[in-house]
Amino acid sequence: MDSIIHLSLSLLLLLHSLILFPNPSSSSSSSHDFSIIDFDSVFHHDYSPPSPPPPPPRPPSVSCEDDLNGIGTLDTTCQIVSDLNLTGDVYIQGKGNFIILPFRSVTCLSFGCEISINITGNFSLGENATVLAGTFELEAYNASFGNGSAVNVTGLGGSPPAQTSGTPQGVDGAGGGHGGRGACCLTDKEKLPDDVWGGDPYSWSTLQKPWSYGSKGGTTSKEVDYGGGGGGRIRFWIRNYVEVNGGLLADGGDGGDRGGGGSGGSIFIKAAKM
């Protein structure tokens, strides 16, 4: 049974949007100049999706040495020198640099766990170092991602937007939905394919700034949820220069032989130079 269903359409859509609109701020203003009809009056009242809730206020920053087991301070340079296993969301803010040394890992393995880094200085993820979490958000002056490094939010997404589920009903093991419907997995010959679609589609609240989790795949069991997890979210706002020699991964999780795959998450990169 071919039940490993990855919905990569959403990521394709995203790549498309990055290619078409490499600079989201300028494209959103220029798209207005070129439109031949007034989209606001046509679509605004009936069709625009509900605006997302305002983000919750940021918690206070963690500290480099006490909370992250690092060396230095966030207002000078904080270096992560040993593997770090976080148990919940962290907000890392300071006026300095944040450096994860080669071969180290920073992980937070709960679904939707957020690692947010907002620093005035530079960020570096060393060679073969990894970050595993549900959300990885970075604001910095320069950022570099070394050879063999990875920011991997595969299958660790939190809940998709409130107005949708994305996860298919029933126990057919179908795929999660996101930018398109999840794939179906027809096991019951009595049913029509149209009755066993995968998960609901939903979209980013703006295509230029994708920021939604993927959704879980379906299961084939009434007792155990075998569905692969939805993909997580990666966002960079780099004021000067970002260099990526490693991987940025936001795929849906694998459901194995008994579950549908999750749908992919979101990757959004904004930088003056890439």
Binding site for ligand NAG (CB under 6 A): 58, 85, 87, 96-97, 109, 118, 121-122, 128, 139, 141-142, 144, 147-148, 150, 152, 154-155, 240-241, 245, 247, 249
Terminal CA-CA length for the chain: 42
Would you say 204 or 268 has its CB closer to ligand NAG?
268
Helix (H, G, I), strand (E, B) or coil at 212: coil
* Shortest spacing between CB 189 and ligand NAG, in angstroms: 33
Which residue number, 177 or 228, has a Cβ lying nearer to ligand NAG?
228
Q: How far is the CB of 39 from ligand NAG (least distance, A)?
A: 28
Q: Where are the beta strands (DSSP E) in 65-216?
A: 71-72, 77-80, 84-85, 90-94, 97-100, 105-107, 114-119, 123-125, 130-132, 135-145, 150-152
Nearer to ligand NAG, 201 or 227 (CB): 227
121: tokens are 């200085």
Are 128 and 147 in contact by the 8 Å Cβ rule? The answer is yes
Cβ proximity to ligand NAG: between 140 and 184 the closer is 140
Enumerate long-range contacts of 60-68, CB under 8 Å, 24 or more apart. 60/91, 61/91, 61/92, 61/93, 61/94, 62/90, 62/91, 62/92, 64/94, 68/92
Cβ-based neighbours of 32, under 8 Å, separated by 6 or more: none
CB nearer ligand NAG, residue 197 or residue 236: 236
Q: Which is nearer to ligand NAG, 142 or 263 (CB)?
A: 142
Q: How far is the CB of 212 from ligand NAG (least distance, A)?
A: 17
Residue showing the smallest CB distance to ligand NAG in the complex:
148
Least separation in angstroms between residue 271's CB and ligand NAG is 10
Closest distance of CB 260 from ligand NAG, Å: 16
Distance CA 235, CA 249 (A): 12
Look at strands 77-80 and 97-100 and give their pairing: parallel
Closest separation between CB of residue 118 and ligand NAG, Å?
4
